[in-house]
Structure 1
Amino acid sequence: MADLLATEATVVVSGTSENQGDFYDRFEQVVLLSAPVEVLIERVRARTNNPYGHTVEQQDRIRAHVADVEPLLRRGASIELDARMPIRELAEVIARLVGPRPTRHD
């Protein structure tokens, strides 16, 4: 991650990691996508390309993460977006946050 951030002008990263806070000072924006826990549970139950979230135990773990981890993520975020927004709208908001792409002269 450090190499990528040192060499690329525009980087958009998705996901979470225990050490993500170590990189926050290198980002102009840290976006938290959030949704009510029951929306998250329904989404993982409905997906067909990944079995995680289909069992009660996994759903309980998701609920625990939302309760315990999401507040930490919220404190580190510069902006929070409602993940129930249509994907196109979310992408447009994030694109505006990124701003115009730099022109490369090779």
Structure 2
Amino acid sequence: MARVLVTGMSGAGKTTVLDELHRRGYFTVDTDYDGWELPDGTWDEPRMDELLASNENLIVSGTVDNQGRFYDRFDHVVLLSAPLAVLLQRVARRANPYGRTPEQRAEIAEYVRTVEPRLRRGATTELDGRRDVSELADTLEKLVRATN
């Protein structure tokens, strides 16, 4: 197995593909939930250190300012990307309320312009988030198996 980070913009499909991988029996952690992020929007570093130190087989998702500090502890950093129009369409209809206000939508557009290129530079693999979730999960499973 392997440690994999799935990252990308809001609406790229991180939670959806993690849910599918969890359904397939993988240990997954979506850092958007359960207190992984501190109020400043960064990961709780001691908690992330402990998670990575105690699990060799893990798929994590998230996009935070300090995630790069952990890249060397992941076997794969996978960027899920999609065009801005797709991201905005998805955030408008999902359960998570982020992305519904004009200000948040403008923030997402700015992040696509400024943050996504940094994520791309740090990624070991980029996947098109418009692909069917089962195809994305299959591709991530292949990465995990190839690491063994």
By the TM > 0.5 criterion, same fold? yes
1:31 aligned residue (52, 71, 78): 78
Unaligned runs of 5+ in 2: 1-47
Residue 89 of structure 1 corresponds to 135
Larger radius of gyration: 1
Identity of aligned residues (%): 54
Letter in 2 for 1:68: T
The question of 1:57 aligning with 2:103 is answered yes
Residue 30 of structure 2 corresponds to none
TM-score, scaled relative to structure 1: 0.88
Unaligned runs of 5+ in 1: none
Letter in 2 for 1:83: G
SS at match of 1:13: strand
Cα deviations by residue, 1:15-58 (Å, 9 ceiling, x for unpaired) = 111111011011111000000011000001122x2222122211
Letter in 2 for 1:73: L
SS at match of 1:54: coil
Mark the CA change 1:8 to 1:61 in structure 2 (over 3 Å): closer, same or farther: same
The question of 1:79 aligning with 2:129 is answered no
TM-score, scaled relative to structure 2: 0.64
Q: Which runs of 4+ in 1 moved over 4 A?
A: none
Q: CA RMSD in A?
A: 1.7
Q: For 1:8 and 1:43, locate their aligned partners in 2 and report how far apart those are by CA, in whole Å.
A: 32
Letter in 1 for 2:110: A
Aligned length: 101
Q: For 2:111 and 2:56, locate their aligned partners in 1 and report how far apart those are by CA, in whole Å.
A: 32
